[in-house]
Chains A and B, each alone.
Chain A
Amino acid sequence: MIDAAWLLIAIPLVGAAVLLLAGRRANAWGHWLGVIASGASFVVAALVLIAMLGREASDRVVDVHLFDWLNAGPLNVEAGLRIDPLSLTFVLLVTFVGTLIHIYSVAYMEHDADRRRFFAYLNLFVAAMLLLVLADSYLLLFVGWEGVGLASYLLIGFWNHVPANATAAKKAFIVNRVADVGMIVALMLMFNTFGALDFSTVLTAAPGMADGGKLTAIALMLLVAACGKSAQFPLQSWLGDAMAGPTPVSALIHAATMVTAGVYLVVRSGPIFTGAPNALLVTAIVGAITLLFGAIVGCAKDDIKKALAASTMSQIGYMMLAAGLGPIGYAFAIFHLLTHGFFKAGMFLGAGSVMHGMDDSVNMRGFGALSKFMKVTWITFGFGWLAILGIPPFSGFWSKDKIIEAAFAADGGHGWQPWVFGSVALVGAGITAFYMSRLFFMTFHGDKRWAQELSDGSELPVRHPHESPALMIWPMIILAVGSAGLGGVLAIGGGFTTWLEPVTGPVAHHEPVLPVAVIMVVTLVLVLVGAFLAWRQYAASAVPVEPPVGSALTRAARVDLYQDAVNENLLMRPGQYLTRSLVYTDKKVVDGAFMGLAGVLAVIGSGVKRMQNGFVRSYAAMMLAGFLVLVVIVLFVWN
């Protein structure tokens, strides 16, 4: 069965091709074809999983050779798939959550004229993402990497008749290009260092490398790539705008799967990072900064999707932090990635369900008391909320708590690192509890703030909140069950970390600087405090419909801590000035020189042109004159 793994990629790819090429005649059944393609992929993945479970743990890394791709002298790249616990985990996550979101989208996009195109892009995304995680070389991974970037671009700008959406899509694309440069440089460095790009060669050779500098460079370049794809600081600015896409897209691509590709890349390149401690430290710092950054931004956003996006950023920050901790954190990063994929996708689908019932409004200050109208959405969202808070025994508790624990054991439990990273993770958990509870309470509890008079007499639009159709509810219920139970099930006896051992190696154990029980209790206390503060402010007391002015920090957080302003002032403006001056230089200096030269030549030419009058007699006269001159010269020289 493992040999048939190429079907995983081929099925959704064929689905996308059929949907794109069939045109309007596929409008009637196209969405079901998309669902079937994704579902078939999941079935294949499940079969591969069963085949894999039948093998010995030591035998669980399988390279499936597909064909010789590039055979150019020293560069010999074979297209092949690497089936191992890590890629299989991703494949299952992508196909399972992907299929659920496909089903959800059938109902969500029901009234969209371009539903077929939407499913074509979704299938394309699934194929590209599977290629990304299944590739057995960095080059093939890069193909998938670009493929998901393309699908992301197409889906963010799906409603591109709205200029803002098109701009958001372009922003995501461009920021990802910046990261891709890092990826390309990493590929070049890798080829230069190891002479190969496939995982088996590179990852085997990496630990034995004497030259730490090169390894660090490769790792840092990979980190740049990961930062772009996973919206990590300082390339995080695109994720908030990416919410312009349809909500299922936000759930699948910008919460559960694609944005976690950076974490996958870091964990996959584990041997390289382990060999470059400085790069690991940078990874951890990036993760820590992003985790706080996202959390702070999340506290101020009134747009439900943008708040969730900030939360995604923050949670991926946790994963990056875990990955940056090295062998003690790789497995937990993937564990958190898995649970996060479930509960965040569930919450996004819940947000979509809320929007569905509230006429596509995303402003949480216009929500409130929706729990009475959308019971199922409320409960499933609640499961996700509890999971992300890390309330035992929900999924998030098992994964996040491990990361906080590992953060307190950073750098072998010596020096400043465990304290800094530990406290950041701890504080982050508290803030996470606050903003997620704020989101939850503002949406589902408190007074209803729709269809009521405003202070200035104008009336908010009258809404008719209602529960979503079954096709939307069931995916949410399944994801909610996953949010509730998956973490616990996988954490029993360290089952998941053991499963990942063939890739990440056994989890190195260091004693945290604080006792484990203390960390757990403090975390829970902080989470409860955060949730209580949010309850007091947003559920127990009235929430103003108009956003209050707020503190300086709030105002800053509302505009994403000025990240766009920073980008514009630091990068865009100087870039524009540079290009403008270059254009000016090109026009005046370069063109001037060339045009001047051309002008001089043209003047000479128009002078010489007179001689070329086309008359044979003129030419004959010139020939004779030249002959005479030659004769005279010869005569004078000889005499």
Chain B
Amino acid sequence: MASGGEAILFWCVAPLMVLAALGLLFARKAVHATLCIVFVMICLAVLYVAQEAPFLGIVQVVVYTGAVMMLFLFVIMLVGVDASDSLVETIKGQRFAGWLCGLGLGAILVGVITRVSFPEGVGLATANLETNPVGLARILFSDFVFDLEVVGILLITAALAALTLTHKARLTARVGQKEMADARVLGGKSLVPLPAPGVYAQRNAMDVPALDPHGQPIEASVSRVLRVRGQERGAPLEGELNLLTELKASSQTPTGPERAAPDVDPAAPAETEEEH
């Protein structure tokens, strides 16, 4: 029964599976651990097929790899991909106990399994006579039909439970467009869209504030992110503009600092300009 091909397949797949499973223990990031497990699942599906259980192999891929593990990935993303697990143990003695228990369990199980002499395998050739899915279906819908129904109820219940658990009751009234507009009017804020940067300014770059009718810069026209980062460029005033024109006229080869002199803050804009 045991063909040489199956042994080769096993010895190719099994060590990789163990290594991938160990990734679950050692991976810092949850995403990596999940991908390791996905690999283990697919390998398991391969082994199922090799073990004359093609239906289970397919189900393994569809249900586990395709659905369950993807669900895990979704949740990881929901919870935060960058939340890497600190490997510093906080519970005293837990790491020792964990390793002892894990290794002890493995040792006992492997010891027992290797010491037991199993009977000669029967093989599923007879059972899979009408193909494996049909054979399974005959058992599933005869002896286990009641269990099947119960499991169906369990699945529905689980789905409902997940809905209930993740459902967030709305504590405040829903804020729609109308409510937001009302709030803006009540708050005395501008009712029209904010002015775009660069309007009437010397340049129409993103970091240059627009000028109002009096020639004063409108701070709000520059993106908040730029303002917070300090990358906003101050708008030159009229006097400075004149000075700039004079400088341009008098000096043929302006140096960096001299060029930057008219700016309100000499240092920062100079750097940014050079960066660009």
B112 at the interface (CB under 8 A from A): yes
Q: Is the CB of B94 within 8 A of A618?
A: yes
B108, CB-defined interface residue at 8 Å: yes
| B101 with A615: CB separation less than 8 A | no
In the complex, the answer to whether B108 meets A632 with C-beta atoms within 8 Å is yes
The answer for the CA separation of A613 and B98 in the assembled complex, in Å, is 16
| CB-based contact B97/A625 at 8 Å | yes
For A621, the chain B residues whose CB sits under 8 A away are 94, 97-98, 101
Within 8 A of A (CB), among B70-129: 91, 94, 97-98, 101, 104-105, 108, 112
Chain B's closest residue to A628 (CB) is B104
Tell me the chain A residues, 606-639 only, with Cβ under 8 Å from chain B.
613, 615, 617-618, 621, 624-625, 628, 631-632, 635
CA distance A476 to B104 in the complex (A): 107
Residues of the A chain whose Cβ atoms lie less than 8 Å from the Cβ of B94: 615, 617-618, 621
Chain A residues in 8 Å Cβ range of B97? 621, 625
Partner among B91, B108, B112 whose Cβ is within 8 Å of the Cβ of A628:
B108
CA separation between A454 and B123, bound complex, in Å? 134
Does B105 lie within 8 Å of A628, measured CB to CB? yes
A96-122 near B? 1/0 per residue, CB < 8 Å: 000000000000000000000000000
When the two chains form their complex, are residues A615 and B91 in contact, meaning their CB atoms are under 8 A apart?
yes
Interface residues on B, range: under 10
B105 cross-chain contacts in A, Cβ below 8 A: 624, 628
- B residues near A624, Cβ cutoff 8 Å: 101, 105
Q: Which residues of A contact B91 (CB under 8 A)?
A: 613, 615, 617-618
Q: How far does the Cβ of B107 sit from chain A's closest Cβ, in whole Å?
A: 10
User: How many angstroms between the C-alpha atoms of A32 and B98 in the bound complex?
Assistant: 91
Smallest distance from the beta carbon of A624 to chain B beta carbons, Å? Answer: 5
Q: When A and B form their complex, what is the total count of cross-chain residue pairs whose Cβ atoms lie within 8 Å?
A: 24
A residues near B112, Cβ cutoff 8 Å:
635
Mask for B241-256, Cβ within 8 A of A = 1, else 0?
Answer: 0000000000000000
A628 to B98 CA separation, bound complex (whole angstroms): 12
Chain B min CB distance to A616 (Å): 10
- Nearest-neighbour CB distance to chain A for B27, whole angstroms, equals 18
Min CB–CB distance B253 → chain A (angstroms): 71
Chain B residues within an 8 Å CB radius of A628: 101, 104-105, 108
B9 to chain A, nearest CB (A): 32
Across the interface, name the chain B residue whose C-beta is closest to A624: B101
Complex Cα distance, B111 from A631, in Å, reads 12
Residues of A within 8 A of B (CB): 613, 615, 617-618, 621, 624-625, 628, 631-632, 635
Q: Which 6 A-B pairs have the closest CB atoms?
A: A621-B97, A624-B101, A628-B104, A615-B91, A625-B101, A618-B91
A-B contact pairs, 24 of them (CB 8 A): A613-B91, A615-B91, A615-B94, A617-B91, A617-B94, A617-B98, A618-B91, A618-B94, A621-B94, A621-B97, A621-B98, A621-B101, A624-B101, A624-B105, A625-B97, A625-B101, A628-B101, A628-B104, A628-B105, A628-B108, A631-B108, A632-B108, A635-B108, A635-B112
